[in-house]
Structure 1
């Protein structure tokens, strides 16, 4: 329960910080500012709730960690529920704040993701789908690699926060950037029926990207172990190799 509550809090902060920057300050800070807000929000939460839950704050990350053998399947449902509830709660708070401005209108999309006419630069559905798959794979692969037992200790938050910033810098013009089904679900529930009708893409594509990342990570990890073993064998005298084989 503590871990699930931490996931709720972490996802709440991510949506408030990232989507909040787009809804409340997007006209002042632009795409780059919104991208940085998402990255900083995640970076802060990695160090805040990471020791409690691992700071997934994203159903795709949870799936990727499970497929990579780093997370038990029995805990997936609880994490997913906490993440979605945290995103919806943040969107509700954000809606109350945003509606306090006289010029507020849901017609702007309320920070929701979309393709076609709902895309910032009117990218097509196939373009948005491919973008979400690839960008989510980047994110999940970074999470898997930076939290590996062989990775430098204490730097995972920086790597993960920076890659989320990079992802947003690339893909905000395409579809407002999801790479996180919970982040997409929260604002879409307040943005109207058109946002909800396109929500499927921002659930399916990130999950595919997470599965791809787990597969790539598995191939690299096993390949790296084989290379290390080969190099170790080359570096050791024959007699020592024979002794250590027993």
Structure 2
């Protein structure tokens, strides 16, 4: 059954878009958090019967995050744009590549989907004998005594801002008009893998406020008391990337949704794309190809009777 479109939103409220767009964003965020954090909680430290380590370790967890975002970018990126991360949404909005009125709907969807992923992961993990989400850390982010290698608050702050800025900057670059779109999800996934390889020893690698929130609910007061850093720092990093993208002239004035989703949202709001000019146009020659057009001269009047 087709989802009912949102229509006739009150003037002044953010246009949240068609439900299928937010559903796609929710599915992608859920998958990213469940697979990424699930690999850390369930598969990173597995031992065989003889005690041999057969878990995936740090490299495996980093790859899991990268592969999760790559697969969902291919699967639903054409519907929602494939943000799956509030820092990405804010960064693209700052860059002018995504409409600010769509930001609240996206961020709420991402946070709810990440929390749902945390609930499912907790339900699965709790079935293991002796499991304790608070004692294990449950893939939460932290600094000081909650950092894997006891890095300070300042180290975590700098790492999250810098690595998230690079991640969002790569997304903006590979989704620009000049980049080959077929390989964009691969570049995004590899970049997320690299950021996780660096950040996991520092603070367990957030790079995504939704990912941090989704599992923090279940790991006790210690995780929640440090959550603020992992909500703020990646968002700041995303905004910094957006400013850099805009300063380099790579920003835009329209939303970042695919054309099909953007058209559907226009239909929901009762607006339509601008119609073509009434006059005929011809291309201006410039190296054989140009987007510029100029109107044809008006037709000469015919002879009078």
TM-score over 0.5 for the pair: yes
Q: How does 1:100-139 map to 2 (within 5 A)?
A: 100-106=127-133, 107-139=135-167
User: TM-score normalised to the size of structure 1?
Assistant: 0.89
Does 2:124 match 1:97? yes
Q: Report the 3-state secondary structure (helix = DSSP H, G, I; strand = E; otherwise coil) of the residue aligned with 1:139.
A: helix
TM-score normalised to structure 2 length: 0.72
CA distance in 1, matches of 2:181, 2:147: 39
Cα distance in 1 for partners of 2:239, 2:56 equals 34
What's 1:213 paired with?
A: 241
Structure 2 SS opposite 1:178 = coil
Cα deviations across residues 108-127 of structure 1 (Å, max 9, x unaligned)? 10001000000000000000
> What is the CA distance between 1:19 and its match in structure 2?
0.1
Deviations 1:20-65 (A, max 9, x none): 0000011111100000000000000100110110010000000011
- 1:177-192 equivalences under 5 Å are 177-192=205-220
Unmatched 5+ residue regions in structure 1?
223-234, 237-243
Q: Is 1:8–2:35 an aligned residue pair?
A: no
Corresponding pairs, count: 225
2:179 pairs with 1:161: no
Q: Distance in 2 between matches of 1:153 and 1:120?
A: 36
Determine the structure 1 residue equivalent to 2:275.
none
Q: Distance in 1 between matches of 2:217 and 2:27?
A: 19
Shift of 1:221: 3.1
Q: CA deviation at 1:217?
A: 1.5
Let me know the Cα RMSD of the aligned residues.
1.4
SS of residue in 2 equivalent to 1:221: coil
SS of 2:181's equivalent in the other structure is: coil
Matched, 1:34 2:61: yes
The 3-state SS of whatever aligns with 1:190 is coil
Distance in 2 (alpha carbons) for counterparts of 1:32 and 1:146: 24
The CA deviation at 1:218 is 2.0
Alpha-carbon distance in 1 for matches of 2:161, 2:66 = 19
The residue aligned with 1:152 is: 180
Tell me if the contact between 2:95 and 2:243 (Cα under 8 Å) persists in the aligned partners. yes
Distance 2:228 2:181 in 1: 37
Residue segments in structure 2 that go unaligned for 5+ positions in a row = 1-18, 46-54, 251-285, 288-293, 295-305
Q: 1:44 maps to which residue?
A: 71
Q: Note the C-alpha offset of 1:103.
A: 2.5
Structure 1 residue 219: Cα displacement: 2.5
Q: 1:202 offset after TM fit, Å?
A: 0.3
Q: Secondary structure at the match of 2:79?
A: helix
The Cα of 1:155 is off from its aligned counterpart by 1.1
Counterpart of 2:224 in structure 1 is: 196
Please give the per-residue CA displacement for 1:176-218, whole angstroms capped at 9, x wherever unaligned: 0001000000100111111011000001101110111111112
